[in-house]
């Protein structure tokens, strides 16, 4: 009897975990499609850090949350602020501001990675700032996200869980049919 109760609880736990994973993946995919790319939660976008230019404060492979900005906010940063900006080749970079210059055409930021020896070669135009970093980081999760966006990651995170859910559903249906058959046999024997 204790074994049967333990199996029922294990069944419920596995079912719950699979449903949470399914809903979570669906929510992330839907959020990506609706936002046109990066998911945004409460005004923050999650970005993956791919280089060590900001170590040790922000480790390679981390996920950081950057606050989305209005046009006015993009021109209001000071020395020491950490911003995420779009480089000329559509590459996102997160670096610290070392100098703010106001020109006739707008505000320019000189930036530098904390782990770099020199400032970045090209100043950042305020319009190219995507967000501001306020200290929220989750180490190593970025590696997982980058892998999940690769073809092999798609197999691991979409096809294999889907297959496991189908297999688990098949086993559950088979057990239910077997239990119904046993009840019918007991009823026929009486």
The total number of residues written for the chain in this structure: 190
Alpha-carbon span 107 to 118, nearest angstrom: 21
Q: What are 4-43's pLDDT values in tens digits?
A: 788 778 878 877 887 777 677 666 666 655 655 566 667 7
Alpha-carbon span 92 to 86, nearest angstrom: 5
Which pLDDT value is given to residue 19?
75
Q: Is 51 a catalytic residue?
A: yes
Could you say which of 16, 31, 35, 51 is catalytic? 51
Q: In the CATH scheme, what is the code of domain 39-139?
A: 2.10.109.10
Which pLDDT value is given to residue 101?
87
Which pLDDT value is given to residue 190?
66
The domain segmentation of the chain, as residue ranges, is 2-32+150-176, 39-139
Among candidate residues 103, 105, 97, 98, the one with its CA nearest the CA of residue 132? 97
Residues of the chain with pLDDT under 70: 1, 22, 25-41, 149, 154, 157-158, 190
Task: Please state whether the predicted TM-score (pTM) of the whole model is above 0.85.
Answer: no
Residue 89 and residue 57 in contact, taking contact as beta carbons nearer than 8 Å: no
Which pLDDT value is given to residue 32?
59
Which pLDDT value is given to residue 25?
67
Provide the H-helix boundaries in the chain.
2-35, 71-74, 141-148, 151-154, 160-189
Which pLDDT value is given to residue 28?
65
Which pLDDT value is given to residue 15?
77
């Amino acid at each position: 009897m204790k074994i049967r109760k333990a199996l029922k609880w294990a069944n419920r736990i596995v079912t719950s975990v699979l449903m949470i994973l399914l809903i979570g993946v669906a929510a992330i995919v839907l959020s990506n499609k609706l936002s046109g790319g990066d998911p945004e939660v409460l005004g923050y976008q999650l970005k993956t850090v791919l280089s060590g230019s900001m170590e040790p404060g922000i480790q390679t492979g981390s996920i950081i949350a950057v606050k989305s900005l209005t046009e006015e906010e993009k021109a209001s940063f000071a020395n020491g602020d950490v911003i995420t900006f779009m480089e000329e080749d559509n590459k996102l970079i997160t670096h610290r501001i070392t100098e703010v210059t106001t020109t006739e055409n707008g505000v320019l930021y000189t930036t530098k990675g904390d782990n770099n020896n020199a400032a970045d070669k090209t100043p950042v135009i305020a319009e190219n700032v995507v967000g501001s970093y306020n200290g929220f980081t989750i180490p190593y999760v970025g590696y997982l996200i980058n892998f999940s966006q690769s073809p092999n990651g798609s197999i691991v995170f979409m096809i294999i869980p889907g297959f496991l859910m189908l297999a688990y559903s098949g086993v559950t249906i088979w057990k239910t049919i077997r239990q119904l058959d046993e009840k019918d046999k007991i009823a026929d024997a009486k």
